[in-house]
Homo-oligomer: A and B are copies of this chain.
Amino acid sequence: MASTSTPRSRQTRERILEAARTTFAAHGYDGATLRNIALQANTNVALVIRYFGSKDDLFATAVDFDLQLPPLQELDRERLGELLVAHFLAMWEDDRSGRELVALLRAAASHAAAKARMQQIFHTQLLGAIGALGFPPQEAVLRASLVASQMLGFALVRYVLAFEPPGLDGAALLAALGRTLQRYLAEPLPAR
């Protein structure tokens, strides 16, 4: 059972969650140890377990990422791609949700629960938002897969694999991505 909630314990709890987000993002799920997290939060492993039960539960609590998508059908249809890229970029560059996404992305490569969480986000949030644009179900899945592949791929290349050299023109990159998403979201797909 969790401890009684005092102001002091709530501060400790928050320090642990913050350290967990940073450490999971920096080292992946397996590479992040409860010792590292506890050390960074100025406490010890026993307290981490007492508050969160297990490493799995700590990860689930610390990394509760979601896409926070606006209702796409209410946006300007001609600028959907550009607006969506701006939305994702704002999330990635945000200190908290950015670390959460990197942590989730890295963990999904080796941790079954993180992978399941990614699948859930895809199906309920992204597919839901794109379906609301009025596409037939089959086509909505196709378009959602395309959007997910391009945006997750970009996050992977930029924030996990660090391919881009310093001095790369980020604005040009984002403009190109915006045009791609515009095609995936609001233009006819090529006949096969």
**B176, A184: Cβ atoms under 8 Å?**
yes
Given contacts A31-B30, A157-B149, contact A142 B173 (CB under 8 A): yes
Partner of A153, one of B118, B141, B154: B154
CB of A138 within 8 A of CB of B180, answer no
Complex contact A191–B175 (CB within 8 A) = yes
Which of A28, A148, A149, A163 has the most chain B CB atoms inside 10 A of its CB?
A149
Report chain B residues within 8 Å CB of A28.
30, 109-110
The yes or no answer to A179 lying at the interface (CB within 8 A) is: yes
- A156 contacts the other chain (CB 8 A): yes
Contact A145/B118 with A27-B110, A110-B110, A192-B175 known, Cβ cut-off 8 Å: no
**Chain A interfacial positions (CB closer than 8 Å to B):** 27-31, 105-110, 115, 118-119, 122, 138, 141-142, 145-146, 148-154, 156-158, 160-165, 168-169, 171-180, 183-184, 189-192
List residues of chain B with CB within 8 A of the CB of A154: 149, 153
Give chain B residues whose Cβ lies under 8 Å from the Cβ of A108. Answer: 109, 160-161
Are A163 and B184 touching (Cβ within 8 A)? no
* 6 cross-chain pairs, A with B, having the tightest CB-CB distances, nearest first: A153-B153, A28-B110, A109-B109, A30-B30, A171-B192, A149-B153
Chain B residue with Cβ nearest A82:
B190
Shortest beta-carbon distance from A25 to chain B in Å: 11
| Docked complex Cα distance between A171 and B161 (Å) | 29
Additional pairs, 18, CB under 8 Å, beyond known A148-B153, A149-B157, A175-B192: A28-B109, A105-B109, A108-B161, A115-B161, A118-B161, A119-B161, A141-B164, A141-B165, A142-B172, A148-B157, A148-B163, A149-B153, A150-B180, A152-B161, A153-B154, A176-B189, A179-B190, A180-B183
A-B contact pairs, 5 of them (CB 8 A): A30-B30, A31-B110, A152-B157, A153-B154, A180-B180
